[in-house]
């Protein structure tokens, strides 16, 4: 139960803060010399973070559900942006899984994440909103999201950075990044649950607790990120990623 609570907190924080949840789920066990969360726990943690983003952006989802012109356009933009991650994920799944067994490589990818986040400080602040994005913008941000298939590369970090590079306002870039992440997070969670069930792993009370913790912490993490983004941007998270990745490389 304590393990589930711990991993729920880690997943909730790192899924939405741009510091790579996949990287932390690899590096923390490696640094502590212990086993990481099992497949069932990982699946439930993903569903917990999915619940967090669905609740936080419930008003946006409600507007999209009206399926009026603006709602249909946003749904289309999100679906277009999801395609690159689906294609590349299916094409390179086995290769990407191998990286999970190489914590030092994951640590290096975390440093890469930090450098990209820090580079956004060189961009001029934009004012575009998610409603103004074109299919081309969505494809570019979608390809940035697909980079997060590599453990250690932050999904939210890449999508927000890409949004900023396309001239989006900081909070709007985060909003679109999280809405774009809903299909990916849902797909990862449901596929993991199906795989766990097929392997005979059942859902226990501890995994449910972990899911709830991930949802609560994830909701807080989104709110925290939005406040920080509006004030200082991604630089603090970039510094953390570079520092954490460097320390991990040294220790490992």
| CA gap 69, 71 in Å, rounded | 5
User: Which of 151-160, 183-192, 229-238 has the least mean pLDDT?
Assistant: 183-192
Is residue 27 within 8 A of residue 229, CB to CB? The reply is no
- Name 238's Cβ contacts closer than 8 Å, sequence gap at least 6: 113, 114, 115, 116, 117, 118, 119, 120
Lookup: tokens for 68: 């009026």
Whole-prediction pTM: 0.94
Lookup: tokens for 189: 């969670």
Is residue 172 within 8 A of residue 43, CB to CB? The reply is no
66 alpha carbon, distance to own chain's centre: 27
The predicted model gives 36-50 an average pLDDT of 88
In tens, the pLDDT along 3-30 reads 999 999 999 999 999 999 999 999 999 9
In tens, the pLDDT along 207-217 reads 999 999 999 99
Q: Which has more pLDDT, 97 or 231?
A: 231
The predicted model gives 43-56 an average pLDDT of 93
Is residue 48 within 8 A of residue 211, CB to CB? The reply is yes
């Amino acid at each position: 139960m304590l393990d589930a609570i711990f991993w729920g907190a880690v997943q909730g924080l790192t899924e939405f803060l741009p510091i790579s949840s996949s990287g932390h789920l690899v590096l923390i066990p490696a640094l502590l010399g212990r086993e990481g969360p099992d497949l069932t726990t990982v699946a439930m943690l993903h569903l917990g973070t999915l619940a967090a983003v669905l609740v936080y952006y419930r008003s946006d989802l409600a507007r999209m559900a009206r399926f009026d012109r603006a709602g249909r356009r946003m749904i289309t933009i999100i679906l277009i942006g999801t395609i690159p991650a689906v294609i590349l994920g299916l094409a390179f799944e086995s290769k990407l899984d191998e990286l999970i067994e190489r914590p030092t490589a994951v640590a290096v990818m975390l440093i890469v994440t930090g450098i990209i986040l820090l580079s956004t400080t060189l961009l001029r602040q934009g004012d575009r909103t998610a409603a103004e994005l074109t299919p081309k913008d969505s494809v570019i941000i979608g390809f940035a999201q697909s980079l997060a298939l590599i453990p250690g590369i932050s999904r939210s970090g890449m999508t927000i950075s890409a949004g900023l590079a396309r001239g989006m306002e900081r909070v709007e870039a985060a909003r679109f990044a999280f809405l774009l992440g809903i299909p990916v997070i849902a797909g990862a969670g449901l596929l993991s649950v199906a795989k766990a069930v097929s392997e005979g792993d059942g859902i226990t009370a501890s995994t449910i607790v972990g899911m709830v913790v991930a949802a609560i912490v994830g909701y807080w993490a989104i709110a925290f990120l939005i406040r920080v983004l509006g004030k200082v941007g991604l630089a603090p998270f970039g510094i953390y990623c570079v520092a954490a990745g460097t320390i991990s490389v040294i220790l490992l």
